[in-house]
Amino acid sequence: MTRVLIVDDEPNVVEAYALWLKNEFDIVTATGGEEALEAIDDTVDVVLLDRRMPTLSGDEVLEELRDRGLDPRVAMVTAVDPNFDIVDMEFDAYLTKPVTKSDLIETVDQLVSLDEYAAGVREQFALAEKRAVLEIEMTEAELAESDEYQELVAELDRIDDETGDRAGELSHDAFAAAVRDLVDE
């Protein structure tokens, strides 16, 4: 089950988001930046992060979790209107408060789809590399006789279909974030 960390300095906001998401996701909560950094580990898939918090801001939390090498999908959920300062920030979605239950669920679903898409593309690339090497090194007759090659081609076709389907499910911004992440890798 997808694990979501909800971080906001307002406990009532944290509770509301947790209630909205608890039936579909495993929820972890934090009511401040330090508490968020204590709660986050590699089991967290998605972080919903407020930007404006006392002591340790969401921006600082985001930077610290990236510095730790953690790579959950992050949605900034905040009352701070976006400005050019967001260009270099490593988040995947930006929601301006107030947000609705459907906005929050849709955003988490999109972020989960990003991970599935990226994993599919990585697998697709690895299989395509294997296929290319075999096609360079082997004759057409050898390829036609090989069960392993036929299975490789079938798996590659299946992943091509799935990756295309997932790409179609992503919003423009989510697709752009997925491509950016793949290029960064």
Q: Looking at residue 49, what DSSP letter applies?
A: E
With cut-offs at 50, 70 and 90, classify the pLDDT of residue 108.
Answer: very high
Please choose, from the candidates 80, 81, 108, 83, the residue with its C-alpha nearest in 3D space to the C-alpha of residue 93: 108
Q: What is the largest CA-CA distance in the chain?
A: 68
Rounded-to-integer distance, Cα 75 and Cα 41, Å: 17
pLDDT for the residue numbered 175: 57
pLDDT for the residue numbered 181: 57
**What pLDDT, in 10s, does the model give residues 146-178?**
998 898 899 888 887 877 655 556 555 555 555
pLDDT for the residue numbered 171: 57
More confident residue, 34 or 117: 34
With cut-offs at 50, 70 and 90, classify the pLDDT of residue 125.
Answer: confident
Structure tokens at 170: 């992503």
Residues 6+ apart with CB under 8 A from 171: 110
What mean pLDDT value characterizes the chain?
86
Is there a contact between 7 and 36 (Cβ–Cβ < 8 Å)?
A: yes
The label of the residue with tokens 């669920």 reads 105
Q: Which helix (H) or strand (E) holds 29?
A: strand 26-30
Strand partners, 6: 29, 48
Check pLDDT > 80 for residue 7: yes
Structure tokens at 19: 């209630």
The label of the residue with tokens 């995947």 reads 92
Q: Looking at residue 25, what DSSP letter applies?
A: S
